Chains A and B, each alone.
Chain A
Amino acid sequence: MSETNFASAEDKMFARVEAGMKRRRAAEKRFQWYGRCAVALGLTFLVVLFVSIVSNGYTAFWQTRVTLDVTLDASVIDPQGSRDPEVLRAADYGGLIKATLRDMFPDVTGRRDRFALYGLISNGAAFDLRDRVLANPQLIGTTVSLSVAADDDVDMLMKGHIDRDGAEADRRIKDNQLGWIDQLQADGRLERVFNLDFFANGDSRDPELAGIRGALMGSVFTLVVTLALSFPLAVAAAVYLEEFAPKNRWTDLIEVNINNLAAVPSIVFGLLGLAVFINFFTLPRSAPLVGGLVLTLMTLPTIIIASRASLKSVPPSIREGALGVGASPMQAVMYHVLPLAMPGMLTGTIIGMAQALGETAPLLMIGMVAFIADVPNGVFDPSTVLPVQIYLWADSPERAYVEKTSAAILVLLLFLATMNAVAVLLRRRFERRW
């Protein structure tokens, strides 16, 4: 009797729980779906971003080149036959290329038409030819087959970015130029090759000559300066504040200020760099050294905060273990606490460095936005950095800079991925259980 009562009470309870379970399961399922939707949305945006960048940018890694048979006329290059490099350097190679074009298209007469014809070939062709002759003066007097970059408009046409059926007035390539290009193509003189120039050149006003190398090296130098300064400084500051500093009002004040510094808009650091490093210390303008110093100021608080958090997370038993056998506080920190905190510190550093790599605003202030065609060879040479280069190209009117912009973004992302990969590898090496 009592047993059945008990059973029925139990059943009742189960029924009540069961009724609630339905709602609970639904809520749980809903919650999971919210999460899935959020992840899916994020992934979608990421995919859209990558598809648009890659589809815009991949063509920049290809380049249209024209093969010309240039006769290196000795009377033009070196009339005295001295083979003096100075004479060779000053010769009119542009004239030789123009002469070659005139020979290839004898029908083209008239100043305007000839000008249009010369426009098919990049301005850089004359320099290519000069370098070749300077490297090997024995070529003078012979006819060489020279592959030169086509003008960016030709390149755009070949890549399908210019509609050849549109109205002539709307086209950068006119009808007569179309005819010559078709003829060059029919002769097999147009070819599509991998765009080495993009990785070998600095910036240029001619899109077909513009390359990423200047900005890439600028970014590398800037980040090397930033890393070399900010990592040791930040780790030293974090270790002192966390392990040695007395806990009083002053250290509290310092902590609050470091946290505030991390939230200061980056352009303010640029102004500071301009006032202090350039105006007061008269360091060179546009130099990666100054850029690195400014970015150091910017990334220091980030790395300090991350490093302190990671020092805090090292269990006290590690410190006590070392102190308990009579290690001095410094030995305990250097041999035991710091290596365990290293993965966290590296994570903070990589976040800071990624931030620094993508930073544009403070660098505008210190002149790294200038047009610089030369590839920098050191931290004192004027240069620009990848994000600024992207900004500069995105701002340029020529159609060919559209693909350059996307390609530069790809290079920037690749740079970032490489940096992250190195950090992950380093972290793996340091990661230990305790």
Chain B
Amino acid sequence: MEAQASHLMASGGPSHRAVGADLGGGTYDRAHRGTVGEIRVEVPRMRCTKVNVHYGDKHAIHDVSLDVGKNEVLAMIGPSGCGKSTFLRCLNRMNDTVASCRVTGEILLDGKDIMAPEVDVVPLRARVGMVFQKPNPLTFPKSIFENVAFGPRIHGLVQTRAELEEVVVTSLQKANLWEEVKDRLNDPGTGLSGGQQQRLCIARAIAIQPEVILMDEPCSALDPISTAKIEQLIDELRRQFSICIVTHSMQQAARVSQRTAYFHLGDLIEVGDTDQIFVKPQHQLTEDYITGRFG
């Protein structure tokens, strides 16, 4: 089964529209799994090859191969339980914290395998930062300043207090939060609004100068205005970082991303330029999902 599936991983191959046409009940032909569209990019920041994830006996992700390009926003969409968050968490080995979780395959960051046993996850997570679904300002240390300063401090990125302050200020500025909090840097981070908290989490992530920022549904707990601010921020951050964003909102994916990957039941079904995916999907499943027939 596995070997067969991997053969089907074609790049822009023949149309798979016929596959799994009968969808509503979720009867989707597993034998024909595979990815349509271009999974590789010219200048990759991260390159994943045949990533499989098992939760105990459950095979959560099947043979996913995907590139994350430099200075691009890659959106991952798909119905609940399709494995997009699980895949995202592989990219900084966050799944290590789940005892029953087993990840196999190859994930390269700047050409180096991050799955190798000798790789220390602590510096890895400094290079691949993460922003979570629920804004989670650190409660200890609790002030806004300390939240942003935590990362640089534990990684020893700064030598003096002045440097630390500079990092905190620039990070908050980059996260478009500086103007709102500059007068209350010592207030607890939990006192901010949801949207502000999420931008604080982004500031915290960029304070350690990562190469990639992973965002797991960063706006799902926020109101439209806060969401718009974060989306604008993501677009600005693209100039400096590579960003992977998991989202349930297809409009959001369309607005912020350059490339979109559609996941379904643990398979990567289709990857392509966002414009192309939303205008002219190649795979029947993708089309059904983005037209709202299920999901």
B139 beta carbon closer than 8 Å to chain A: yes
- As a 0/1 sequence over residues 107 to 144 of chain B, the CB contacts with chain A under 8 angstroms (1 = contact) are 00000000000000011111001111010111111100
A320 beta carbon closer than 8 Å to chain B: yes
A317 close to B132 (CB less than 8 A): yes
B45 beta carbon closer than 8 Å to chain A: no
Instruction: Find chain B residues with CB under 8 A from A320 CB.
Output: 94, 97, 130, 132, 136
- Knowing A246-B99, A247-B99, A324-B125 are in contact, say whether A318-B139 is a contact too (CB < 8 A): yes
- Cβ distance B94 to chain A, nearest Cβ, rounded Å: 7
- Cβ distance B275 to chain A, nearest Cβ, rounded Å: 31
B132 close to A336 (CB less than 8 A): no
| C-alpha spacing A272/B83, complex, angstroms | 54
Q: Main SS of chain B's interface residues?
A: mixed
Q: Which of A324, A335, A339 gathers the greatest number of chain B CB atoms within 10 Å?
A: A324
B241 beta carbon closer than 8 Å to chain A: no
Of the candidate stretches B68-76, B159-167, B176-184, B201-209, the one touching chain A is: B201-209
Closest to B125 in A: A326
A102 beta carbon closer than 8 Å to chain B: no
Instruction: Find chain B residues with CB under 8 A from A433 CB.
Output: 139, 190
| C-alpha spacing A222/B130, complex, angstroms | 49
B138 close to A336 (CB less than 8 A): yes
B136 close to A317 (CB less than 8 A): yes
- The count of A-to-B residue pairs whose CB atoms sit within 8 angstroms is 82
A326 close to B126 (CB less than 8 A): yes
A434 beta carbon closer than 8 Å to chain B: yes
- Knowing A339-B139, A432-B142, A433-B190 are in contact, say whether A325-B151 is a contact too (CB < 8 A): yes
A326 close to B122 (CB less than 8 A): yes
B30 beta carbon closer than 8 Å to chain A: no
Q: List 29 A-B contacts (CB under 8 A).
A: A247-B99, A315-B136, A318-B136, A318-B138, A318-B139, A319-B97, A320-B94, A320-B97, A321-B132, A321-B136, A323-B97, A324-B130, A325-B125, A325-B204, A325-B205, A326-B122, A326-B123, A326-B124, A327-B150, A328-B122, A331-B154, A335-B140, A335-B150, A336-B138, A432-B140, A432-B190, A434-B136, A434-B139, A434-B190
| 15 more CB-based (< 8 A) A-B contacts, given A324-B130, A331-B154 | A246-B99, A320-B132, A324-B125, A324-B132, A325-B151, A325-B205, A326-B124, A326-B125, A326-B126, A326-B155, A335-B138, A339-B140, A340-B140, A433-B190, A434-B136
